[in-house]
Chain A
């Protein structure tokens, strides 16, 4: 129960769609979504596989609570070996697609092989078929979505697709569902494009059963009440969204600016959540149109925004005048502060293009920032860029390059490599602000020390969502810790990593953890799922998932040497703010972290650790 106990295996090479029972022994140990999808990947894919070869697999995985009445039961994850990183990738998305897949009766889809010609997968409950994508190959996510809705004459169809960037081999392509929700990071869309798979369109009419319906409804009702009464999930997130952090993180001196050359941005207020509420331009209307919820969510943090019709980016382009997915904090940072751009509508437009053509705005913005630094150093020239001046602060450079990356054309082809490959190409690898090939997001480890360890040890490359210690170090959730010290951070990071791995396997959203702890998750899982689910079981499972992902990466060729940070963060001190004079103290945290994890000094899980976690 909770699970549909059925997976769909799609062999793209042969064009077959086959139903299989879900492995319930694995479900008992890995629950669903991130954990269970990763277990299937680890069992079925050689860690050394070329991410873009047909031998890599692409797994869409829901959790047992996806599609149930539990708050935020919208989530699904895409698991594969990441194109950008070569590490295990797991990108999590909301919207409505995940719940619809569950309603169709499937816990998971496993794509293997490579289609000889572009196809999309069409699912109507138990029926699944591959159909030629000739009509939509070369089209954007938005055009593909429109076409498929019209073709199948079903407004309730839920669609997850790649855009042109994924077809063109942009290394950080996303998989976008419901027009502007995305499995965003690590190049999962690039893997999808390499398989000639354009989209998954699903319509489900079945329900999701749970083990004890009365207890489940009572429990999820109580937990929704907690979210409603919590000032963060009940008021702060719906009103200001994640973007409320822009001024906070700038104030604490941890806002990476100009490719992390500095830690505070003069224009932060101009691109903040507060600015999105303010009337602007000739229209006298705000950038923010409304907030929006994913399926079943009672928080509703999503931003829906519009670009002013007179803004240079959309003048005489009415196709961009409508409301669409607005800026989240990470995107506003990467496109804004990191590139030194304080034009809110330009950032919103660039974000629209990322959604329309399906590429990760965090990696794109951070790659732009690296290119801007190289341009100002004279390493990248006007000849390279086609005459576009890539100076920090140039909104025009940002938006024009976003359009080129989206199409995989011109200098956009080079920017589409991501910052690691781009900086290596131009002979300055140290200027890539990445770990394991993936760019770090909107928190500078010099000002928030726990995030340095978070980035260095994240199994999917630098990422904030693997252990969001910002909650504790800056926001005081669940309790305040000092962001400028390294003491205690190894334990904090481990605790966040393990708990998040469990949450990411449930089908619910990690944003609930601003109000809930695992104490609030396990009763909901226990009421829905077969077996007895306790706090201890969930916590142990989270640690098991973390170590399983680590084992995959070690087998793929990563070592402790990859658990590091860009040189800039380790050697160039913050020049302003509370962290002035500080670098990341990673060297003080990492050995303790390995010890707490039960890993050797080389970062390898010991036999005892593996045995304790059932991973021997």
Chain B
């Protein structure tokens, strides 16, 4: 299945080279979870802070729930502004 994978701020360095605009469409296996995908892509767990699926916050305890076809997974390190 396909999902849209987005890494922002300092996590952008872990995106594949052919990513554009901080994101890339990935073919992933059915049942893959956000935690697994981030590990596969080499994103250090300690740098992962804000995880959104389709714009909705996913707390650490729910990052083992499988992704679904067409999901938008967006991840940031600890950031803030104002």
Chain A residues close to B by CB (< 8 Å)? 230-232, 235-237, 239-245, 247-248, 251-253, 269, 273-274, 328-330, 464-465, 468, 470-471, 474-477, 480, 482-483, 510-511, 514, 577-578
Counting CB contacts under 8 A, is B67 at the interface? no
CB A218 to nearest CB in B, in angstroms, measures 27
CB contacts (< 8 Å) of B49 on chain A: these are: 231, 476
CB contacts (< 8 Å) of A328 on chain B: these are: 81
Whether the pair B80, A514 counts as a contact (CB closer than 8 A) is: yes
Whether the pair A511, B82 counts as a contact (CB closer than 8 A) is: yes
How many residue-residue contacts, CB under 8 A, span A and B?
A: 93
CB B76 to nearest CB in A, in angstroms, measures 6
CB contacts (< 8 Å) of B81 on chain A: these are: 237, 241-245, 328-329
Closest 4 CB pairs of A and B: A242-B81, A231-B78, A245-B81, A236-B79
Whether the pair A578, B8 counts as a contact (CB closer than 8 A) is: no
Whether the pair B57, A235 counts as a contact (CB closer than 8 A) is: no
Counting CB contacts under 8 A, is B9 at the interface? yes
- Given A475-B50, A578-B54, also A273-B9 (CB < 8 A): yes
CB contacts (< 8 Å) of A470 on chain B: these are: 82
CB contacts (< 8 Å) of A511 on chain B: these are: 80, 82
Whether the pair A274, B54 counts as a contact (CB closer than 8 A) is: no
Whether the pair B55, A475 counts as a contact (CB closer than 8 A) is: no
Whether the pair B10, A239 counts as a contact (CB closer than 8 A) is: yes
CB A348 to nearest CB in B, in angstroms, measures 17
Which residue on chain A has the smallest CB distance to residue B10? A239
Chain B residues close to A by CB (< 8 Å)? 6, 8-10, 12, 21-22, 49-50, 52, 54-57, 59, 72, 74, 76-82
CB A104 to nearest CB in B, in angstroms, measures 30
CB A460 to nearest CB in B, in angstroms, measures 16
CB contacts (< 8 Å) of B78 on chain A: these are: 230-232, 235-236
- Given A245-B79, A475-B80, also A269-B10 (CB < 8 A): no
- Given A247-B22, A248-B50, A273-B9, also A578-B55 (CB < 8 A): yes
- Given A247-B22, A248-B76, A577-B55, also A468-B9 (CB < 8 A): no
Count chain A CB atoms within 10 A of each CB in B6, B57, B77, B81 and give the residue with the most: B81
Partner of B57, one of A239, A269, A273, A480: A480
**What's the Cα separation between A328 and B81 when bound, in Å?**
9
Which residue on chain B has the smallest CB distance to residue A264? B55
CB contacts (< 8 Å) of A274 on chain B: these are: 8-9, 12, 22
CB contacts (< 8 Å) of B55 on chain A: these are: 251-253, 577-578
**What's the Cα separation between A293 and B28 when bound, in Å?**
43
Partner of B82, one of A242, A251, A482: A242
Whether the pair B74, A475 counts as a contact (CB closer than 8 A) is: no
CB A450 to nearest CB in B, in angstroms, measures 14
Whether the pair B82, A236 counts as a contact (CB closer than 8 A) is: no
**What's the Cα separation between A475 and B81 when bound, in Å?**
9
**What's the Cα separation between A247 and B78 when bound, in Å?**
14
**What's the Cα separation between A239 and B52 when bound, in Å?**
22
CB contacts (< 8 Å) of A471 on chain B: these are: 80, 82
**What's the Cα separation between A137 and B33 when bound, in Å?**
63
Whether the pair B74, A236 counts as a contact (CB closer than 8 A) is: no
CB contacts (< 8 Å) of A244 on chain B: these are: 8-9, 76, 79-81
Whether the pair B77, A231 counts as a contact (CB closer than 8 A) is: yes
- Given A480-B59, A578-B54, also A235-B10 (CB < 8 A): yes
- Given A240-B9, A274-B8, A274-B12, also A329-B79 (CB < 8 A): no
**What's the Cα separation between A477 and B49 when bound, in Å?**
11
CB contacts (< 8 Å) of A475 on chain B: these are: 50, 79-80
- Given A251-B74, A329-B82, also A578-B56 (CB < 8 A): yes
Whether the pair A247, B82 counts as a contact (CB closer than 8 A) is: no
Which residue on chain B has the smallest CB distance to residue A243? B81
**What's the Cα separation between A468 and B82 when bound, in Å?**
8
- Given A236-B9, A245-B81, A475-B50, also A269-B22 (CB < 8 A): yes
CB contacts (< 8 Å) of A464 on chain B: these are: 82
CB B15 to nearest CB in A, in angstroms, measures 11
CB contacts (< 8 Å) of B57 on chain A: these are: 252, 474, 476, 480, 482-483
Which residue on chain A has the smallest CB distance to residue B81? A242
Whether the pair A252, B52 counts as a contact (CB closer than 8 A) is: yes
CB contacts (< 8 Å) of A330 on chain B: these are: 82
